[in-house]
Chains A and B, each alone.
Chain A
């Protein structure tokens, strides 16, 4: 099935640094969701976005719904070791087969203490 383009694939950063990642799609989406997944666990919803241009924060996390509706960004400020995990985006838009969610391939984040 379709997957969103998510970058970077992986990041190795020092504790305290800021992190940025993004997802792009060839299709227009109505909803963007951002998740974090740790080994052996299911994805945990971090932020949900519903309007183009929307900027939403959840603690040190900030996500934006791109104005073209084809992209979204996630920023993590002042990273800490517990931020380690795989972050991925999900987008939902209209399709002939229903409003299916599509997922990014994930960004693996490693935080070096």
Chain B
């Protein structure tokens, strides 16, 4: 059974650009959440989606947005990139509604902002 798939794995952008990251959850999983991981801050919650609806949002500026499609795949977008946005962005999926049961992570998308 395929795990959580994230694309792209690595990307380099410059300040001011925007980026879109994609996540395909485990087959049958309907809940997707996104996290930012940096050495100094650890794992920080961005947002979570269930049935195409954003159910919860972390404390990030409006430049960070996301959405979920009817097939449970999710995308997140960061606009007007800043140097501090350089991080590993992790997507995680759960079978049912958000935060019920085990949380499975993808391998992440490593974003470098120059």
Say yes or no: A45-B104 contact (C-beta < 8 A), given A98-B55, A99-B98.
yes
Interface of A is mostly: strand
Complex CA–CA separation, A43 to B59 (angstroms): 22
On chain B, the number of residues with a Cβ less than 8 Å from chain A's Cβ atoms is 26
On chain A, the number of residues with a Cβ less than 8 Å from chain B's Cβ atoms is 24
Which residues from A are CB-within-8-Å of B101?
Answer: 31, 48
Contact A45 B103 (CB under 8 A): yes
Contact with B along A27-57 (1 / 0, CB 8 A): 0000101010000111111001000000000
**Which residues of A come within 8 Å of B, CB atoms?**
1, 3, 31, 33, 35, 40-45, 48, 88, 90, 92, 97-101, 103-106
A-B complex: 6 closest residue pairs judged by Cβ atoms: A99-B99, A103-B43, A98-B56, A42-B105, A42-B107, A43-B105
